[in-house]
Amino acid sequence: MDTQIARVREFLLNLQDNIIKALEHQEQTGGVDGGSETKFIADIWERPEGGGGRSCVFSGGQVIEKAGVMFSHIHINQMPASATTRHPQLAGAKAQALGVSLVIHPKNPYVPTSHANVRLFVATPTDGGEPIWWFGGGFDLTPFYPSLDDVKHWHKVAYELCQPFGDDIYDKYKTWCDEYFYLKHRGECRGVGGLFYDDVNTASTGWDFETCFAFMQAVGQGYIDGIVPIFENNKHRAYGERERHFQLYRRGRYVEYNLVYDRGTLFGLQSNGRTESILVSMPPLAAWEYRYEPTAGTPEFELTDFYLKPKDWLAL
């Protein structure tokens, strides 16, 4: 298993570099007020239990207000409850977890917030049996002023990367994404979805390790292929205080979801993870307003009335 872990680690570090290069290019090629040459700052850290990571963070740009692209490869002495709830046989087991996760908060309200993560868990049962491994991850889009063409593009990328792995894969993981990124207390989806998958291994899919790893690689590249054209289409669009205020209001929903429901946040905190890296997903600014109701017929109303409801986007 050590050889497979090493290969996944190498891919993840390269993926982190490629995503950062793509995002830095978007910043350097400007927004409404021009771009900047500011680059991501890399923070290398070690974990007392073993392992560590490279957290790369950007803030204060003209195109990207805040972004975190995080690599970690950690050793866990005892699996936390967020994992053993789904795998009770691993209670007390040691494990390794490695992955890349990111959240990008653009400055322009017309550019959606985006999130992606790809990860591998390898756990060693307490009885000394064979390691148990599984992959998870996905990507999703959270727009404030959506474009139907952008949403369809996002899902087209997701559909096409899934096709080599089976005709049912896109529908399965798209539906899972719609259901997972749902705020029960608000009765709405967090965004327009994408893909979400977890517990992907031979037992759950019939795929061998190489096929599962290939799917991880396709999802990682799919994020880049999906988000770059959306930046290009929207980062130069003019906006005012109204759009900015609505962006901050909707970011409040993002905060609510990440702190209440997100498995990655819960897993990180329960496994004594690095708090700064776990909470880098929080936007730099957000707002809450008591009983805000957008006016019917406005773009703000259209967001919740049309876009934040699961749809067959490719059929529209």
CA 215 to CA 219: how far, in whole Å? 6
Structure tokens at 251: 């970011």
The model's confidence at residue 309, banded by pLDDT at 50, 70 and 90, is very high
pLDDT greater than 90 at residue 236: yes
Predicted pLDDT at 82: 64
The model's confidence at residue 80, banded by pLDDT at 50, 70 and 90, is low
Residue with tokens 């999130």: 115
Predicted pLDDT at 203: 94
Specify whether the backbone of 185 is left (phi greater than 0), alpha (psi in -120 to 50) or beta.
alpha
Structure tokens at 233: 């289409």
SS3 46: strand
The model's confidence at residue 43, banded by pLDDT at 50, 70 and 90, is very high
Q: Decide which of 266 and 302 is more confident.
A: 302
Averaged confidence pLDDT in the chain: 94
Predicted pLDDT at 194: 98
Range list of H helices, the chain: 2-28, 81-84, 148-162, 169-180, 202-205, 209-234, 241-260, 263-270, 275-278, 299-302
Q: What is the mean pLDDT of residues 16-29?
A: 97
pLDDT tens digits for range 88-107: 777 778 899 999 999 999 99
By the 10 Å C-beta count (0-12 exposed, 13-18 middle, 19+ buried), 19 is classed as buried
The model's confidence at residue 272, banded by pLDDT at 50, 70 and 90, is confident
Q: What is the mean pLDDT of residues 5-14?
A: 98
CA 84 to CA 92: how far, in whole Å? 9
Maximum alpha-carbon separation in the chain:
62
pLDDT tens digits for range 186-215: 999 999 999 999 999 999 999 999 999 999
pLDDT tens digits for range 273-301: 788 888 999 999 999 999 999 999 999 99
Residue set of the binding site = 101, 105, 115, 117-119, 155, 185
CA 164 to CA 160: how far, in whole Å? 8
Predicted pLDDT at 130: 83
Set out the domains of the chain in order of their start, with CATH numbers.
1-307 (3.40.1500.10)
pLDDT greater than 90 at residue 79: no
Which helix (H) or strand (E) covers residue 241, if one does? helix 241-260
pLDDT tens digits for range 118-153: 999 999 887 777 889 999 999 999 999 999 999 999
Above pLDDT 90, what percent of the chain? 81
Residue set of the binding site for a divalent metal cation = 105, 115, 155, 185
The full DSSP string for 63-104 is SEEEEEEEEEEEEESS--HHHHTT-GGGTT-EEEEEEEEEEE
Residues catalogued as catalytic: 115
pTM: 0.94
